[in-house]
Amino acid sequence: MEVNVRHSIGDLAADLTKIPPAASRDLHGVVRDGLRVGNNLARDFARESAGKHGKHYPKAFTTEMNGTASGLTGGGLISGEYGPDPALPQGGMSFEYGSRNQKPHLDLARSADIIGPSFAGEVRRASEQWFWL
Amino acid sequence: MSGAADEQAQVTAIIAALNAALAPKVAYDIEKVPSPRTGPYVEVTVVWRFGGESRNDGYVGTDGGRILTRYVAKHIEDARLMRSKVVGVLRYGRITVAGDVLITSRETGEPIGEDEGWFSGLDTWTFTA
């Protein structure tokens, strides 16, 4: 019987340094995909709920990455947001939560109920691959 | 949700819990706010949340409910007072409905501001049973 040592602690250290940039790349993708899917869901809900007086409202839904992560080091915050852009026609209307004379539509909240659990799952699945680079 | 209590019973219990803290009792289901509206009131909307797939494939993931409480008053201090009382009930609330306990927690909110000549603000809460 013999024991072959193929990797040393130095190899482990080298592997660990590869993880942050890989994590940054993968999680940017997860967040970007989550924004796109969440925004599509919310926009579809808005098309149903906005009615004739809100016909431009669904077209105001956009996505935007706004984090501070570094592609070199992998550190920082990877984030984005989606929803109606108030700079676009009808993007500033109070459909989501309504007002004292308008019932809430909850298009964004309904999309978050769907996208939230799947986003958490995607983050977990991405992280499981980093230790096998 | 266990389904032991029907949806209307849950709405009734939530509004009763809020009115127990509000004096006078001014929390109303969204369809039942008295008209014309003359005084401060809390408009309560209760909806059920369904996670999982968005297509009609019969799959239901996480579920629970969402409560919206909109505080409406002609004077901003009345709106703020109603908000503080509702927060006291729902922030880490437990509301019993026919053997089920609804556990509530805060989700998000909007500040109290001018709203078509009155003042209003809103909080949203999620609950599970």
Q: Which residues of A touch B82 (CB under 8 A)?
A: none
CA distance A69 to chain B (A): 26
> Poorest-confidence range of B11-25, B54-68, B76-90?
B54-68
Cα end-to-end distance, chain A, whole Å: 30
- SS3 of residue B54 by DSSP: coil
Contact A58, A50 (CB under 8 A): yes
Looking at residue A106, what is its pLDDT? Answer: 94
Mean pLDDT over the full length of chain B: 86
Closest of A52, A47, A18 to residue A107, by C-alpha? A47
Cα end-to-end distance, chain B, whole Å: 5
Q: Which residues of A touch B62 (CB under 8 A)?
A: 113, 117
The answer to whether B50 faces chain A, any CB pair under 8 Å, is yes
Looking at residue A11, what is its pLDDT? Answer: 83
For residue B117, pLDDT beyond 60: yes
**pLDDT bracket for residue B116 (50, 70, 90):** very high
- The interface residues of chain A toward chain B in range 19-48, judged by CB-CB distance below 8 A, are 41, 44
B59-96 per-residue burial string, b: 16 or more CB within 10 A, e: under 16:
eeeeebbbbbbbbbbeebebbeebbebbbebbeebebe
ipTM summary value: 0.79
For β-strands A80-84 and B27-29, DSSP reports them as unpaired
Looking at residue A32, what is its pLDDT? Answer: 95
Q: Which residues of A touch B122 (CB under 8 A)?
A: 97
**For residue B124, what is the nearest residue in chain A, using CA coordinates?**
A97
**pLDDT bracket for residue B4 (50, 70, 90):** very low
Looking at residue B5, what is its pLDDT? Answer: 56
The answer to whether A114 faces chain B, any CB pair under 8 Å, is yes
Q: What is the pLDDT of residues A10-66, one digit of tens each?
A: 888 888 888 888 888 899 999 999 999 999 999 999 999 998 889 999 999 999 998
CA distance B33 to chain A (A): 11
Q: What is the pLDDT of residues A98-132, one digit of tens each?
A: 999 899 999 999 999 888 888 888 998 898 888 77
The answer to whether A16 faces chain B, any CB pair under 8 Å, is no
**pLDDT bracket for residue A75 (50, 70, 90):** low
For the question of whether the overall pTM of this predicted structure is more than 0.95, the answer is no
> Poorest-confidence range of A48-62, A84-98, B18-32, B57-71?
B57-71
